[in-house]
Amino acid sequence: MKRMDKKTCVVTGAGRGIGAAIATAFAREGADVIVTDKDLDSAQDVAGQIGGQARLLDVEVEAHWASLADEFPQIDVMVNNAGVTGFEDGIAPHDPENATLETWRAVHRVNLDGTFLGCRYAIAAMRAKRAGSIINISSRSGLVGIPAAAAYASSKAAIRNHTKTVALYCAEQGLNIRCNSVHPAAILTPMWEPLLGTGPDRAARMKAFVADTPMQRFGEADEVAAICLLLGSDEAAYMTGAEINVDGGLLAGSAAPPAPADA
Ligand SMILES: NC(=O)c1ccc[n+]([C@@H]2O[C@H](COP(=O)([O-])OP(=O)(O)OC[C@H]3O[C@@H](n4cnc5c(N)ncnc54)[C@H](O)[C@@H]3O)[C@@H](O)[C@H]2O)c1
């Protein structure tokens, strides 16, 4: 018996990066995976590799969720993974003083509205069995302030809080639907490319981005997928409303820990 046998799972933003790794890990453990993305070609590539089904789903479009609900009215695991930093189309100001209302809203529409819609769909699609697991991919940026990425940090913090609301709501309703958030730090995926660039200083930039990470390296998408596998499986039966950091130790301490004075 595999860990995800007989489970139907939807993963958003699964055409690449962390979402693709989660879809792959779930399929390897026996799940029927619905690989969704706003980029249907990439979703089809991943689905083809893992034996899943691909569907177009732009998470901010309510009508796409309605179509998914018509086709898949019953699921067991929902991973709200799709997310944007706001830097996808180039470096624009995302600090609290210079960000525009439109860029602020655009990031929240995907990250927060998308997660809200994904949770709403999942609760309805899990009601018949009165059980299931919802996994919301937040970020370490949802736990600390990020001056250069205000909307990203705000949206990820809201995802963390909404996760707890969903967990409590489901428990109140007597549903065995668990909802937990995962908080990765720097995971090397295509999301980082606009920030790392391809120039000669790429290696130095990579080193700088993880300079404060105790483990001194980027994480791998598979390392996030492994935690989602745990949360999606029945092994995590008593976990709901929880948050798990996957961050190489970054949030365990401070960049300026107190140290004894020199003798
Ligand atoms: N990579 C990291 O360092 C890191 C750290 C913390 C949290 N995260 C979070 O993990 C998740 C995945 O990140 P990633 O690094 O794999 O990103 P990525 O940019 O490599 O992949 C994101 C995927 O989401 C899809 N997507 C974007 N907007 C969408 C929308 N509106 N609807 C549906 N799909 C959409 C993209 O097409 C792409 O396939 C995101 O929520 C991200 O915020 C990533």
For the chain, give the number of residues: 263
Q: What is the pLDDT of residue 254?
A: 87
Decide: 85 and 110 in contact? Cβ < 8 Å.
no
From 121, 152, 169, 238, active-site residue: 152
Q: What is the pLDDT of residue 194?
A: 83
Phi, psi (rounded to 5 degrees) for 206 = -60, -45
Q: Which residues contact 118 (CB under 8 A, 6 or more apart)?
A: 10, 12, 59, 65, 78, 80, 134, 136
Please say if 152 is a catalytic residue. Answer: yes
Query: Ligand 1 mean position to 172 CA, how many Å?
Result: 31
Report residues whose beta carbon is within 6 angstroms of any ligand 1 atom: 12-13, 15-19, 37-39, 42, 57-60, 81-84, 110, 114, 137, 139, 184, 186-187, 189-191
Q: What is the pLDDT of residue 220?
A: 98
Q: What is the pLDDT of residue 53?
A: 98
Query: Ligand 1 mean position to 153 CA, how many Å?
Result: 14
Is pTM beyond 0.95 here? yes
* pLDDT tens string 12-68: 999 999 999 999 999 999 999 999 999 999 999 999 999 999 999 999 999 999 999
Q: How far is CA 156 from CA 1, 48, 112, 142, in A?
A: 35, 31, 7, 4
* Domains of the chain and any CATH numbers: 8-191+221-246 (3.40.50.720)
Residue 254 CA to residue 93 CA, distance in Å, equals 26
Residue 79 CA to residue 77 CA, distance in Å, equals 7
Q: What is the pLDDT of residue 263?
A: 58
Low-confidence ranges of the chain (pLDDT < 50): none
Determine the atom of ligand 1 nearest the C-alpha atom of 14. Answer: 39
Query: Ligand 1 mean position to 260 CA, how many Å?
Result: 41
